[in-house]
Structure 1
Amino acid sequence: MRIALVGPARDLHLQRWGRALQKAGADVVFVGLEPPPPDATPYYSVGPPIAHPRWIDFYRRSQALRELLEALEVTVAHPFHLTPSGVWVWLSGFRPYVPYAMGADLFEYTPAAPPLRYSWSLQNTAPSLPRLAAAWLRRRFLPPFLRQTLQEAAFALADNYELCKAKKFFEKVKKYIELPTGPDLEGELEKAERVGILLPRGLTLFYQADVILQAARQYLAAQGRLAFFCLAGPYPPHPHLAHQAKCLEKQFPDKFFLFEKVLPKREMKNLWQRSLAFVSAPRYDGYSYSLAEGRAYGALPLISALPAYQELLTHGYNAWFIEPFTTENLTQAFFEVEKYLIEPPFWPQRNLAWIQRFSNLQQSARLFLSLLEKALYKEDSRP
């Protein structure tokens, strides 16, 4: 069985999932429109590579996608993200396919979409009239394509229950991580010297960095003892928020540390081990990779009360909910967390045990391949 992982091959989540499938014994090829990435092989571009493909590019090359998948003798297409990859495979006519539908991916197309200025496509730019018009058109016309894409899928991986519940994959597991490697992880958790709060979601309105930076400023101005480690590399930063973060770095040079590039795995591990807690508050409902990773490394999740979070986490047991998610409430949470610089933390072993049981990437890859074989067998056995 050959699986074509279709999508933006430079996406770190796509690469992790592809490598996990390969380690589980699957024959995986990566397919997309972008230039070949260094960490996803073998990679095939559908026509000449395009650095920043547009919707029209996917539409024009939908037939070419099908021809390439057939030429590669692909058994099943596995588009990563419903938009544009899932819709692209659906338009191509190639069957069967199994999409990976992520919460952020679906955010703009929900029936009750939040304000346009928080949309994924506008989160790092000023909302000009053409961009607002384009976002409105997508929300107006794409939902039927998304419904059809899900309806014709063999099944779907999903971290957004509301839009994908008919194709739900794994009842309680929504995101899978590469478990930290090394000697005794539990021993490492106990030895970690935790002095700060990690802000792993970038400098975007989409992840409420505006609220988080204001809370960090208020906390540090009030002589808070914890430092902040702010990651700006994962997503293109909003210009205004990037300016705020740099001002905080200058104002509190020994307490606010800004990392503007994606960190290597070893450096990221060290940063997690120095973090007592971390903040995750996206404006969409979905269980995030950074939340799973932070739990594995023993940091306390400071989170908004999203349905997906409430389903899997409990305030005061393995997480700390901030509701409503405001500057004042988040600042207060920072001060409340300070006591665990001295007191024994209550969450690390509880979270690690859950991650090891339910969120192991390799285990999930093997289970996915097993379900995929069953689904394909049902397709073949239909009269």
Structure 2
Amino acid sequence: MKTDAPVLVIGSASVHVARFVRGLCAAGQSVVASTHGELAVDPHPALLATTTIDLGVRNWRAPKQIRELMRKWTPRIVHAHQANSVGWHAGRAVRGSGVPLVLTLWGSDVLLTPAISPLHRWMIKQALRSATAWTADSRIVLEAADALLGSRTAAARRVWIPLGIDDSGVASQPEKRILSCRLHKPLYRIDAVIRAFARLTKTHADWTLEVAASGTESEALKRLAAELDVIERIEFSGMLSPHALALSYRRAAVYMSVPVSDGTSVSLLEAMAAGCVPVLSDLPANREWVVDGLNGFLVSDLDRLDQAMQQAIGLWESGQWAATGGAWNPQLIRRKATFTRNIEQFLALYAQLRAG
């Protein structure tokens, strides 16, 4: 698909926004990207320009700066990532322009940020009301946005579109390995994974836990592993390149992710595509992909996390997993959550909004 009018993408300078921009460009959609910081994207014929704007809540000039970009590039769509100050600024910028605003919700923006202060709650509600369409990678996030607005709901179209995975098609060769690859922040409770693994090693001493990624708690997590006497059984592999992370998924038999709150995480989709047994916190977004005991395990009490890990290991070691969830999950992801397919859904949404 090739279009002349660009999409103006507004967001943080995160890897997720960069990946989204690359996906649109690869599909033939021209893009102008304006981000809070420099976006790490390689040149592409469809990437017309990249600019930086202070999208913090204190920059009262941000809507004017976005409008200047709109006048210069006449975008077919403005697409803002996150219903925080980014969406708030974008909403004020498009007002009266006739250009549709797509607002992609990331989860924490409507699940957690409104509780920070009345100002944050008001700002997010304003962003939601200004959008022509909301998208999210889990239905629970769309429902939370509706609940946030209450009786004064918005007329925006609600569309569930996962930000899926790049399907490598490479076969997995799982070993007796458990993988955790969420960031080392309190939200993700990596300490609970390490504590559960320490209890597990009493009966499964031949298993290894790989703790990938990094964050503010990295050093504390290493100290915890040493205190629990499992430092020799844990590989702290740090922030991995996409290629190295894909290899870690293919080597792992079990995947662990137990955050306090989450939307649909790309890491879960990648783990399911690789055939790992997912052991997850029991969150609404996870229930959209996993049925407890059928194609993974959902845990509400972290004191019982080691028991869920034992169930996952038992299912994998028995060979039953390969014929059930290990076969079903990759098919599910290929059908619903490959990145190319999801970009096509965004392009279809843009066309629908432009057609009125």
User: TM-score, normalized by length of structure 2?
Assistant: 0.84
Q: Does 1:96 align with 2:75?
A: no
C-alpha displacement at 1:70, in angstroms? Answer: 1.9
Mapped to 1, the partners of 2:298 and 2:200 lie a distance apart of: 18
The residue matched to 1:142 in structure 2 has which SS?
A: helix
Distance 1:193 1:7 in 2: 37
Q: How does 1:77-88 map to 2 (within 5 A)?
A: 77-88=78-89
Partner of 2:244: 267
Contact 1:97-1:153 within 8 A present in 2 as well: yes
Report the identity percentage: 20
| 1:246 Cα deviation after fit | 4.6
CA shift at 1:38, angstroms? 4.0
Deviations 1:199-224 (A, max 9, x none): 11122111122322222232235554
Contact 1:200 1:231 in 2 (8 A): yes
Residue 131 of structure 2 is matched in structure 1 by 153
- 1:106 corresponds, among 110, 117, 120, to 110
Match of 1:337 among 284, 296, 312: 312
- 1:65: which partner in 2? 66
Does 1:201 pair with 2:179? no
* Alignment partners' CA distance in 2, 1:197 and 1:33: 36
User: Hey, what's the Cα distance between the residues in 2 that align with 1:232 and 1:333?
Assistant: 23
CA distance in 2, matches of 1:371, 1:62: 24
CA drift at 1:338: 2.5
Q: Give the whole-Å Cα distance in 1 for the aligned partners of 2:121 and 2:312.
A: 42
Where do 5+ consecutive residues of structure 2 fail to align? 147-153
- Aligned equivalent of 1:381: none
1:294–1:168 Cα change, 3 Å: farther
Where 1:269 maps in the other structure, the secondary structure is helix
Of residues 54, 57, 75 in structure 2, which corresponds to 1:55?
57
Equivalence map 1:230-249=2 (5 Å): 230-233=211-214, 236-238=215-217, 242-248=219-225
Secondary structure at the residue paired with 1:145? helix
Residue type at the aligned position of 2:10:
V
Separation (CA, whole Å) in 1 of partners of 2:19 and 2:226: 32
Structure 2 residue matching 1:82: 3-state secondary structure: coil
* Partner residue of 1:179 out of 160, 166, 170: 166
User: How many angstroms apart in 1 are the aligned matches of 2:93 and 2:33?
Assistant: 17
Separation in 1, partners of 2:41, 2:288: 37
Compute the RMSD of aligned alpha carbons.
2.5
Structure 1 residue 285: deviation in Å? 4.5
1:276 is displaced (CA, Å) by 0.8
Structure with the bigger percentage of strand: 2
Question: Is the 1:313–1:319 Cα contact (8 Å) retained in structure 2?
Answer: yes
User: How far does residue 86 in structure 1 lie from its aligned partner after superposition?
Assistant: 0.9
Q: Give 1:44's aligned amino acid.
A: T
Q: 8 Å contact 1:219–1:335 — kept in the other structure?
A: yes
Is the CA contact 1:226–1:338 (under 8 Å) kept in the aligned structure 2? no
Range with bigger deviation, 37-46 or 81-90 = 37-46
- Segments of structure 1 that go 5 or more residues without pairing to the other structure are 114-135, 379-383
In the aligned structure 2, how far is the partner of 1:168 from the partner of 1:275? 39
> Contact 1:225/1:338 (CA < 8 Å) preserved in 2?
no
- 2:201 corresponds, among 220, 236, 251, to 220
1:268-307 matched pairs, under 5 angstroms: 268-307=245-284
User: Structure 2 matches for 1:341-360, cutoff 5 A?
Assistant: 341-344=316-319, 345=321, 346-360=324-338
In 2, Cα distance between the equivalents of 1:168 and 1:18?
22
Deviation of 1:247 (Å): 4.7
Aligned residue pair count: 331
Q: How far, CA to CA, are the matches of 2:157 and 2:284 in structure 1?
A: 16
Cα drift, residue 142 of structure 1 = 2.2
Q: 1:318-337 CA deviation, whole Å, 9 max, x = no partner?
A: 1111122x1x3111122222
Q: Is the 8 A contact 2:269 2:333 kept in 1?
A: yes
Instruction: Report the Cα distance in structure 1 between the residues aligned to 2:176 and 2:298, rounded to whole angstroms.
Output: 20
> What is the distance in 2 between the residues matched to 1:3 and 1:144?
27
Is the Cα contact below 8 Å between 1:213 and 1:245 reproduced in 2?
no
Tell me what 2:149 maps to: none
Change (3 A) 1:287 1:266: same
Distance 2:223 2:71 in 1: 50
Q: Which residue of 2 aligns with 1:128?
A: none
Deviation at residue 164 of structure 1 after TM alignment: 3.4
Q: TM-score, with normalisation over the residues of structure 1?
A: 0.78
Q: Measure the CA separation in 1 of the matches of 2:245 and 2:52.
A: 34
Asked if the contact 1:109–1:143 (Cα under 8 Å) also holds between the matched residues in 2, the reply is yes
- 1:314 and 2:299 aligned: no
**CA shift in 2, pair 1:329/1:88, >3 Å:** same
Q: 2: CA distance between counterparts of 1:225 and 1:335?
A: 13
Alpha-carbon separation, structure 1, partners of 2:23 and 2:208: 34
* 2:151 alignment counterpart: none
Q: Which residue of 1 aligns with 2:22?
A: 19
Distance 1:280 1:157 in 2: 23
Counterpart of 2:192 in structure 1 is 211
- Residues 286-308 of structure 1: CA distance to partner in whole angstroms, max 9, x if unpaired? 22111111111111110121122
User: For residues 157 and 309 of structure 2, what CA distance do their matches in structure 1 show?
Assistant: 36
Residue 267 of structure 1: CA displacement?
A: 1.0
Residue in structure 2 matched with residue 126 of structure 1 by the alignment = none
